[in-house]
Amino acid sequence: MDKKPVHVTTEKVREVTYDTLLSFGVDKEMAARAAKTLNTADRRGIDTHGIARARFYDRAIRNGEINLKPNVKVVKETPVSALVDCDGGIGVATADIVMDKAMELAKKNGIGMAVAINGHHFGAAAHYTIKASEENLIGMSASPSLLITCPIGGTQKLLGNSPNSVAFPAGHKTPCMMLDMASTTVAGGKIEMCIRAGKQMPEGWGLDKNGNPTTNPLDVFDRDIQFVGSMTPMAGPKGYCLIVMFELLSGLLPGAATGLKVVGSGGGLGYFMMAIDPTIIRPLDELKADLDEYFLTIKNSPKREGVEEIFLPGEIEHKITADRAANGYDLNPAVADEVLELAIQYGRVPKDTTVYELFDVK
């Protein structure tokens, strides 16, 4: 008999995420920021980058990659830029602090760029740009990642997947338009989800240890989610070039770790965050009116046969966010089980606790 769905609220998932991070020993302030960052992904339907990352952070902490009580500080600042030392803290919290600095500078001086050293995996790039857009700023974010990709024509994993995002403020009537992507064909979390579901992955997502195309996700990750193969750059050479250029901005510019200098699953990574106040160019109301017109012109343009709706960047996730806020959603059963196992392992709940009890499923 199939188990009933683990139907959760996004707020409860955030609470469990926070408690889980606390149980790992993460500082309270860092845990609160990290849980909010991860919950942005869960709320938007990017289930690979939310609470599903709990096991990943547990392993990184146990491997000594993450400083549980970092001293995040600005080491160099100008009116429009800052270099931040993240002191090895959990990336989904420290990167949030770096974006806060970029936004602070933008609000004071029109443009703010904050880059960082000594970071770690920063999760979904969209969290940071959405945060800026909600303050009527244009946001940009990028980071290198752990080594998962080979250069075109090469066989050694020397590159990450350079997650990056750009977001504009919402219009008067239309939602924020936002790009959020990995520069590989897909994010690594999607391959992890194939493993959890016991399914094959589409052709073109990854290569085995010998550099051959494969549809078996276990040729890319083993069951402990350690890389044995590699991932393919999106659009071949174009994606490869994007990976390199974003690594220059977010890794080499601040002087952070790239390539073989990256520790484990992300120790030493850098960040690139930028915020722009559009009023240094034109009045915000004018821009918002033009954003509405632009959005609706594309939205209502002629559709090909068989196409029901044209979507703008970020629109699908915007609709998912509203639906999940109103109705909740079904948590992936494998993810729910992993989080429960961690809760039991760290003594947060009794051994006979069920996932339904952990997530207050009625």
pLDDT by residue (tens digit) across 53-93?
A: 999 999 999 999 999 999 999 999 999 999 999 999 999 99
Angle formed by the axes of helices 28-43 and 10-23, to 10°? 140
Angstrom distances, CA of residue 122 to CA of 40, 99, 119? 12, 11, 8
List residues bridging with 263 in a β-sheet. 267
Based on the number of CB atoms within 10 Å of its own CB, is 170 exposed (0-12), middle (13-18) or buried (19 or more)? buried
Whether residue 1 is predicted with pLDDT greater than 80 in this model: the reply is: no
Q: What are phi and psi of 11, to 5 degrees?
A: -65, -40
Q: Give the contacts of 68 (CB within 8 A, at least 6 positions apart).
A: 24, 25, 26, 27, 30, 61, 89, 90
Instruction: Find how far residue 121's CA is from the centre of its chain.
Output: 8
Instruction: Find how far residue 234's CA is from the centre of its chain.
Output: 17
Name the amino acid, one letter, at 310. I
Name the amino acid, one letter, at 266. G
Determine how many CB atoms are found less than 10 A away from the CB of residue 221.
Answer: 20
Instruction: Find how far residue 257's CA is from the centre of its chain.
Output: 19
- The DSSP result for 165-222, as a single string, is EEE----SSSPPPEEEE-SBSS-HHHHHHHHHHT----TTSEE-TTS-EES-GGGTB-
Instruction: Find how far residue 125's CA is from the centre of its chain.
Output: 4
**Can you tell me the distance from the alpha carbon of 220 to that of 261, in angstroms, rounded to the nearest whole number?**
22
Outline where the chain has alpha helix (H): 10-23, 28-43, 54-62, 91-109, 126-133, 188-197, 237-247, 284-299, 315-327, 333-345, 355-358
* Class for the domain spanning 6-184+233-282+323-358: alpha beta
**Can you tell me the distance from the alpha carbon of 259 to that of 93, in angstroms, rounded to the nearest whole number?**
23
**Can you tell me the distance from the alpha carbon of 143 to that of 326, in angstroms, rounded to the nearest whole number?**
32
Average pLDDT of span 309-334: 97
Polymer length in residues for the chain: 362
Asked if 267 contacts 182 with a C-beta cutoff of 8 angstroms, the reply is no
- pTM of the prediction? 0.94
Predicted pLDDT at 55: 95
Whether residue 190 is predicted with pLDDT greater than 70 in this model: the reply is: yes
Predicted pLDDT at 264: 93
User: Distance between the two ends of the chain, CA-based, in angstroms?
Assistant: 19
Answer left, alpha or beta for residue 69, where phi above 0 means left and psi between -120 and 50 means alpha: beta
Lowest mean per-residue pLDDT among 75-89, 183-197, 288-302: 183-197
Average pLDDT of span 208-224: 89
Average pLDDT of span 225-247: 93
- SS3 call for 81: strand
Could you report the per-residue pLDDT of 338-351, keeping only the tens digit for each? 999 999 999 999 99
The 3-class SS string of 153-181 reads CCCCCCECCCCEEEECCCCCCCCCCEEEE
Dihedral through CA 309, CA 312, CA 317, CA 320, nearest 10? -30
Asked if 208 contacts 150 with a C-beta cutoff of 8 angstroms, the reply is no
Average pLDDT of span 122-150: 97
Predicted pLDDT at 301: 98
Average pLDDT of span 267-276: 98
Predicted pLDDT at 2: 56
Q: What are phi and psi of 23, to 5 degrees?
A: -65, -25
Average pLDDT of span 145-167: 93
Calculate the average pLDDT of the chain: 96
